[in-house]
Amino acid sequence: MDERERGRIAPWAPPRARRRLAELEAALAGLDADGVVETVGEALSGHLRRLDEEGVVLYAGTNTMSARARAAHEVALASRPSMGWPGEKFQTGLEELDVLEVLAPLQVAALMGGGFAEVRLQSATLANLACYAAFTRPGDTIAVLPEAAGGHASHHAQGAAGIRGLNVVDLPYDAVRLDVDHGALPAFLRGHRPVLVVVGASLMLFPHDVARIRAACDEVGALLVYDASHVAGLIAGGRFQRPLDEGAHVLTMSTYKSFGGPPGAAVVTRDEERARRISEAAYPGLTANYDASRLAPLAVTAAELAAGGPAYADRCIAAAAALAEALAGEGLPVVAADRGWTASHHVAVDAAAFGGPAEAARRLAAGGVFLSGIGLPGQAPGEPMRALRIGTQEVVRRSLGPQDMGEIAVLVRRLLVDGEDPERVLPAARALRRRA
């Protein structure tokens, strides 16, 4: 590579990233304070325009907050430190924040079917790390979903589980039924004796049989953690599945994906002793001060989800079913056709015929449709990620419904199957977004 393309941000990054970084570093070199302020302003407005105003966002791990939740997101709170319990804090003058620190976890715990919710952690990665800190010791074994089945980096050795020094083994997985291989599970657990089992994934087309997995966990005394990062919004509506009712000991979740709240995470459980250990892992373990500005929009989001009942979850699921059917009708290889494609807000498309998911996602983005790649359950070991993942939660929040999914499928077909020039497709994507 040309020396001029070696930047200072991450000269170790892969070539495509290095080129982009070098281009940006060259353009941004030597700005004075006014220049930085102006550049920041342009970046912010451009970002909002591209994704919020002109793009059709089908990325599964995002959302847009409701108007009331946005109005409750007061950024000034983020720099007001708060450590310890209301009534006994390290800092004084936080009586109003006390209210939010009680309201938000109560709302989240009740909505998710738990008794206790820890809501201070800034991300689901940290929520999972808090579970490892609370319930494992370095050197212990945990069993998680394989990466090709959507097992998240934070479940695996390269992520939070590795940081805790855990030995990570892949659960046996049935790529046809898209769940843990229940026949093989009991012997597998007896062989590996994990202290903790994590299910729940970054692609969740169908529910897990949590009760059956829990029964196998009980035989070896393993704790069952359900990572609901993607499906928390459906669970909140009483749809898809209710992991804590079905036997999961602990539920971790992102608050900003299908849940539709501020960035961050929650850990929910019914057991007081487990809740205490998770809480201590969160503070003083993994946080000191934390971003308290998240609490108000989190409480509002949870309250709105509770008040709305299953309506939002049902719309997300109906839109995904409609989109899967429409995409299949346009000739795209939608995953799990034999099972009706999906029972969640996710849809997966095999992208092998379109140059793989990274290339396909770039084409779609150039045409105003934003999403990402994901592993395809059952893909060959070592094969690069092979599927495109779609989530309907954001377009549903922006008031598109099943009746609009045909139009989205046409955009995808024009970009991927017909290979049309993305510039020519972009106006149609913008028009669809503006109508929503």
Ligand X SMILES: *Cc1c(COP(=O)(O)O)cnc(C)c1O
| Residues in contact with ligand X by the rule CB under 6 A | 61, 123-125, 152, 154, 200-202, 227, 229-230, 254, 265
CB 201 to ligand X: min, Å = 5
Contact 93, 78 (CB under 8 A): no
CB 59 to ligand X: min, Å = 11
Q: How far apart are CA 272 and CA 53, in angstroms?
A: 44
CB 93 to ligand X: min, Å = 30
**Extended beta strands in 138-193, E state:** 141-144, 167-170, 173-174, 179-180
- Name which of 346 and 397 has its Cβ closer to ligand X: 346
- Name which of 149 and 189 has its Cβ closer to ligand X: 149
Q: In what order do the strands lie in the sheet with 250-254?
A: 116-118, 265-269, 250-254, 223-227, 196-199, 141-144, 167-170
- Name which of 107 and 254 has its Cβ closer to ligand X: 254
Q: Counting beta carbons within 10 angstroms of the beta carbon of residue 350, is it exposed (0 to 12), middle (13 to 18) or buried (19 or more)?
A: middle
Q: How far apart are CA 43 and CA 400, in angstroms?
A: 27
Residue by residue, DSSP assigns 284-335 as III-SS--GGGHHHHHHHHHHHHHHTTHHHHHHHHHHHHHHHHHHHTT--BT
CB 154 to ligand X: min, Å = 5
CB 32 to ligand X: min, Å = 34
Burial annotation 122-137 (CB, 10 A radius, 16+ → b, else e) = ebbbbbbbbbbbbbbe
Contacts of 68 (CB under 8 A, 6+ apart): 300, 304
CB 266 to ligand X: min, Å = 11
CB 226 to ligand X: min, Å = 10
- Name which of 143 and 426 has its Cβ closer to ligand X: 143
- Name which of 210 and 411 has its Cβ closer to ligand X: 210
Contacts of 425 (CB under 8 A, 6+ apart): 367, 368, 411, 414, 415
Contact 118, 105 (CB under 8 A): yes
Position 129, amino acid: L
CB 286 to ligand X: min, Å = 12
- Name which of 124 and 324 has its Cβ closer to ligand X: 124
3-state DSSP call for residue 27?
Answer: helix
Largest CA distance in the chain: 64
- Name which of 267 and 396 has its Cβ closer to ligand X: 267
CB 233 to ligand X: min, Å = 13
- Name which of 196 and 265 has its Cβ closer to ligand X: 265
- Name which of 5 and 123 has its Cβ closer to ligand X: 123
